[in-house]
Chains A and B, each alone.
Chain A
Amino acid sequence: METIVRIADVGLWVVLAVLVVYTVRHYFFTLNRLFGRHRQPFIDVVEANWPSLVVFVPAHNEARVIRDSLDALLTCDYPADRLVIVPIDDRSQDETREILREYAALYPDRIRPHLRDGGIPGKAAALAEAMADHEEEVFLVFDADYIPGERLLKQLVAPFFDAEVGAVMGRVVPLNVGTSLLTRLLDLERSGGYQVDQQARMNLRLVPQYGGTVGGVRRTALEHVGGWNIDSLAEDTDLTVRLVLAGWDVVYQNRSECYEEVPETWESRIRQIKRWAKGHNQALRSYLFSMFFNRRRLPWIQVLDGVLLLGVFAVPMVLAFGWMCTIVLFYAGYPPQWSKVTILLVSSFNTVGNFASFFQIAAASRLDGTRERIRMLPFMFLGFLVSTFAVGRATLSRASWLRGRPLDWEKTERHREGRASSPGLS
């Protein structure tokens, strides 16, 4: 019994130390975003000899939304002779493929669909297969329901004039904010994650994360690090870490914004976060050691940030262990002081998955020029609760820790209708 109590006591201190580190990290990032010097060196590149670009649009049952996405890409101001759009249809069961054929017929020089009827399922495998056919200098990836602004392609390509940049990430902004309580909470969370977290990591030259959409990668950098990892559920996180370990930079551009749809139901949110958690944990398992003993002697602060980034979805298990320790100590007659429980609770609120602290979220909302939505902050507790369970289950699953091919194409449900009529028939 004494041994158990001692383990629980030490365990609780370790857990609290981990949670304090994450909390301090959130706080420090917020202070940097509020008071620090902001880095956005590429946003003003408006004229250049733009490199050849291919935009991949993975699509699986996206008939409702794909037309608008393709129309938006076709009307971007990127030089038409340097841009190829490659929608990737992977065994869609709806009219996606017919729509892609229609667009390929109307825009034969610009749209070249990649149609899959076999091969390993999943977004990473689809991208790997499609990219193998292309020699353009820069690859961008957009989800099928994204509507890029006219200048967005140039904005996302501009960082690649820096020879060190391997990948770039823009900012996704929820479009369906007002639909439900969940969408409002996710909007707050996204705001904190991008406006503060990613930008602070960019400012401090840490590890902004490439998120797999509204972003891009340099072809030579991708080839250098071995291409897409088709075994991974979070191929974006996986690629981010490999690029950083290989000496490439990842750039975040806060002003390169694109609308997205966030999950509108708790069930779809749980599926989304479980997918992210499994992928992140796979990357944690694969690269934790490499991070610490990297060949290129990355700055220690970058290593620390990389490790914390990788560990973000393992924190709920750390938290759960902390709770177990607290319970054990309580029953054993050694109550954790109220202060320890406070830290546990505050950190629980702060640190789950992609959750930014309430402070970070509030700061991000003010920086975005909004304020009344910050009143929704106490409802974040609901999101925290759901995420903790979802991430916990994902972390305990086999997929988190063992390499295995994803069996299904998992994606977020679409809720918005696309255009009813076909192009060119008005």
Chain B
Amino acid sequence: MIGLELTWGLAVDLFAIPLILSVSVWILLDPIVDAWAMFFAAVQHPLGMPGTVNRSVYELGPFAVAIPYFSSAAHWPEAIDLQSGWLVTVSTFAISLFMRGRLLPLAYFLRFLSFIQLTAQLWFTFASPPFSYGLPTYMAGLLVFGVVVLALIPFLAAFTFNIFDFRLWQKFLLGALIVGHLVVLLPLQAVVHAWIIHRASLLSMPLLFLLFGVLLILFVYVALYGWGMSWRSDGPLDAIDRRPPVTPPRYPEGRARPTPTPSSTRAIPDPGLRMSRAFAFQGLLFRRLGFGDRS
């Protein structure tokens, strides 16, 4: 049965490659975070975000990183925000009820989305300010998590991709692609979240936190991972055939069909069959004897 062999090279794949990538991230972390801060500063005014771009130092193990964030606050939802929220939540749920067939997965997603937003609606309807979280801490938290992911994700890639029989440069490439993609994705995500929360009030924070934070990162990882796993490799698990969709015949071509066996042994018919045969014979007999209608 096909498989792979345990070799010493695996140690390189599992530890050396991700370590190199991870160390590279730490070395480049200051320029990366500086670039994020510059990006925030560049878009803050055009986005109409008040305040400034602040930076706070966070201790991540032995390392310290100055995370940028908007100092803008998000307000407690007002009546108009709550009413709009209810309208959107109910409408989204209602629309999902009409989705069938191929749209069913989307319907379920919209229902899940509606449920999460419903919890926010209920909370902000019955609770009183202040909310436990502010926009600056939210944004900074998102980016701190992102930095941790940047440093650790090469190890995830190592244990899920590098163990296969790909070439060395492919193993470096996938890890680097994922890290590089996230370096651009994280600040974009943070800015979009911040603007929505600032404009739509804290009412939007739960949904963004629970569904559009980590899930996006996970989704991107799986997409890049799936692409990487489809590459040609150098070893026993390589596949070269292109196999477009075909509809093979149900019964294999070239396989003979059975030949009925002449046999004096008859299967015992079920009572219904016996009865119908009896009637048929009786009918035949009657007709032969001149009784009944020949037609």
A and B touch in the complex (CB under 8 A): yes
A-side residues, CB < 8 A to B, are: 27, 31, 33-36, 38, 40, 65, 68, 71-72, 74-75, 101, 104-112, 115, 147, 150, 175-181, 199, 254, 265-267, 270, 326-327, 330-333, 335, 338-339, 341-342, 345-346, 349, 358-359, 362-363, 365-367, 369-378, 380-383, 385-386, 388-389, 416-419, 423-424
Closest to B105 in A: A382
Are B101 and A338 within 8 A (Cβ)?
Answer: no
Q: Which residues of B contact A27 (CB under 8 A)?
A: 159
Question: For chain B, what secondary structure do more than half of its interface residues adopt (helix, strand, loop), or is it mixed?
Answer: loop
Q: Is B24 an interface residue when CB atoms closer than 8 A count as contact?
A: no
Q: Which residues of A contact B108 (CB under 8 A)?
A: 385-386, 388-389
Taken together as a complex, chains A and B put the C-alpha atoms of A110 and B4 apart, in Å, by: 45
Are B239 and A369 within 8 A (Cβ)?
Answer: yes
Closest to A341 in B: B214
Shortest CB-to-CB span from B3 to chain A, Å, is 6
Are A266 and B231 within 8 A (Cβ)?
Answer: no
Q: Is B102 an interface residue when CB atoms closer than 8 A count as contact?
A: yes
Shortest CB-to-CB span from B237 to chain A, Å, is 4
Point out the residue from B112, B210, B257, B266 that lies within 8 Å of A75, measured CB to CB.
B257
Q: Is B128 an interface residue when CB atoms closer than 8 A count as contact?
A: no
Taken together as a complex, chains A and B put the C-alpha atoms of A110 and B259 apart, in Å, by: 12
Closest to B132 in A: A333
Taken together as a complex, chains A and B put the C-alpha atoms of A341 and B226 apart, in Å, by: 22
Taken together as a complex, chains A and B put the C-alpha atoms of A150 and B256 apart, in Å, by: 10
Shortest CB-to-CB span from A26 to chain B, Å, is 11
Are A375 and B227 within 8 A (Cβ)?
Answer: yes
Are A331 and B123 within 8 A (Cβ)?
Answer: yes
Taken together as a complex, chains A and B put the C-alpha atoms of A332 and B127 apart, in Å, by: 11
Shortest CB-to-CB span from B126 to chain A, Å, is 11
Q: A346-B218, A366-B164 are in contact. List 19 more A-B contacts (CB 8 A).
A: A31-B163, A40-B1, A71-B257, A72-B255, A108-B263, A115-B270, A267-B101, A331-B119, A335-B133, A338-B141, A341-B210, A358-B222, A367-B3, A369-B237, A370-B243, A377-B223, A381-B219, A419-B250, A423-B260
Taken together as a complex, chains A and B put the C-alpha atoms of A388 and B115 apart, in Å, by: 15
Q: Which residues of A contact B160 (CB under 8 A)?
A: 359, 362
Q: Which residues of B contact A330 (CB under 8 A)?
A: 206, 209-210
Are A377 and B214 within 8 A (Cβ)?
Answer: no
Point out the residue from A176, A267, A424 that lies within 8 Å of B104, measured CB to CB.
A267
11 contacts between A and B (CB under 8 A): A35-B3, A68-B250, A108-B266, A111-B267, A335-B132, A345-B215, A365-B229, A366-B239, A374-B226, A375-B230, A377-B229
Contact A386/B2 with A358-B222, A372-B230, A419-B251 known, Cβ cut-off 8 Å: no
Contact A378/B213 with A33-B3, A101-B269, A147-B250 known, Cβ cut-off 8 Å: no
Are A35 and B123 within 8 A (Cβ)?
Answer: no
Q: Is B258 an interface residue when CB atoms closer than 8 A count as contact?
A: yes
Q: Which residues of A contact B238 (CB under 8 A)?
A: 371
Are B229 and A374 within 8 A (Cβ)?
Answer: yes
Taken together as a complex, chains A and B put the C-alpha atoms of A404 and B237 apart, in Å, by: 47
Q: Which residues of B contact A150 (CB under 8 A)?
A: 255
Are B258 and A107 within 8 A (Cβ)?
Answer: yes
